[in-house]
Structure 1
Amino acid sequence: MLTDQERALLRRWQAEPELSAGDLAAELGLPPATVARRIERLRENGVLRGVHGVIDWKAAGYKVEVSLRFTLDKAEPRALDRFLAAAREVPEVIEIQTFLGRVDARLQVIARDLAHWRELYRDRILTLPHIADIEALMHVTRVKTDAVLPV
């Protein structure tokens, strides 16, 4: 369970992740050593798993985003494992999720343009093992994307 101080620390850090522990301490009115200990405890408890750089892939030249939902042929016992291992090898796959139900997996794929997408789909996606069915959803608009936890 998070303390009120830890929640305040996380809220502030999520708003401005480039803040140092000293800056966080000053803004929260806490001693820097206290903030440093809290951050270390949050890391040890797995609440903070790391600090990441966020790259805007559209600004980097990737203009197409497609969500692919897969149903796999599960006649082979390791079908899902083999599918996931092969999907991890495609650099343009930026997210992989698995599900219980009719859909087994979802891949989020980015491409530079439609020509690049067609090439990826034909040469990399359709060659993934154990595919029984694919549903492709071309991304139009991102309405909300937020990795901020409501602490």
Structure 2
Amino acid sequence: MPIKLDKIDRRILRALQENARLQNTDLAREVGLSPSPCLRRVRLLEEAGVIDRYVTVLNPAMVGAGLTLFARVWLIAQDAETIEHFIEAMKRLPQVMECYIMLGESDALLRVVVADLDAYRHFQSTHLTRANGIQNVKTDLPSQVVKQTYALPL
């Protein structure tokens, strides 16, 4: 259940989404607080689970993971055991950046990141198989990234 955020909480969260490495004094100045109350608010947001974790966003091309593909997945069955087996298998695969169980035409949607098409073909033939509860996969290759953000609208 969402918690009540005031204007200052939202300013803190927007600033941290833009740059999580902001020093507390810089963050406090940006949101209009003194450092001590600012730090207290950040800690409260962390404790409440509003701030889930801090991460570093890498440039995929610079680390050999420059190709993103989307895979629509149909499972061999829709029972709880098959779905759970699939979920656990996807959690173990570092190439799977996002995995969603879907309502609609396909059963799941994956965002997969690999070095190139050969790496994806190997990934698909090794991991997107019946052994992981998968009956069928249709892969989409984006031609252009128009927008990619990790910041939630606040």
What secondary structure does 1:147 align onto?
Answer: coil
Q: Percent of counterpart pairs with the same letter?
A: 28
Q: Which runs of 5+ in 2 are unaligned?
A: none
Q: Which runs of 5+ in 1 are unaligned?
A: none
User: How far apart are the structure 1 equivalents of 2:121 and 2:11?
Assistant: 47
User: How far apart are the structure 2 equivalents of 1:91 and 1:9?
Assistant: 31
The range that moved more, 67-76 or 91-100, is 67-76
User: How far apart are the structure 1 equivalents of 2:78 and 2:113?
Assistant: 30
Question: What residue is the counterpart of 2:110 in the other structure?
Answer: 107
Question: What residue is the counterpart of 2:74 in the other structure?
Answer: 71
User: How far apart are the structure 2 equivalents of 1:89 and 1:10?
Assistant: 30
User: How far apart are the structure 2 equivalents of 1:7 and 1:149?
Assistant: 11
Note the alpha carbon deviations across 1:71-123, whole angstroms, 9 max, x for none: 11226541111111122222211111111233211111122122222211222
Question: What residue is the counterpart of 2:18 in the other structure?
Answer: 15
Question: What residue is the counterpart of 1:89 in the other structure?
Answer: 92
User: How far apart are the structure 2 equivalents of 1:150 and 1:124?
Assistant: 34
Q: CA deviation at 1:6?
A: 1.1
| Partner AA of 1:37 in structure 2 | R
Aligned counterpart for 2:35 among listed residues 32, 36, 42:
32
Correspondence 1:120-135 to 2 at 5 A: 120-135=123-138
TM-score, with normalisation over the residues of structure 2? 0.87
TM-score, with normalisation over the residues of structure 1? 0.88
1:3 aligns with 2:6: yes
Aligned counterpart for 1:145 among listed residues 138, 143, 148:
148
Going by fraction, where is helix more abundant, 1 or 2?
Answer: 2
After superposition, the CA RMSD in angstroms is 1.8
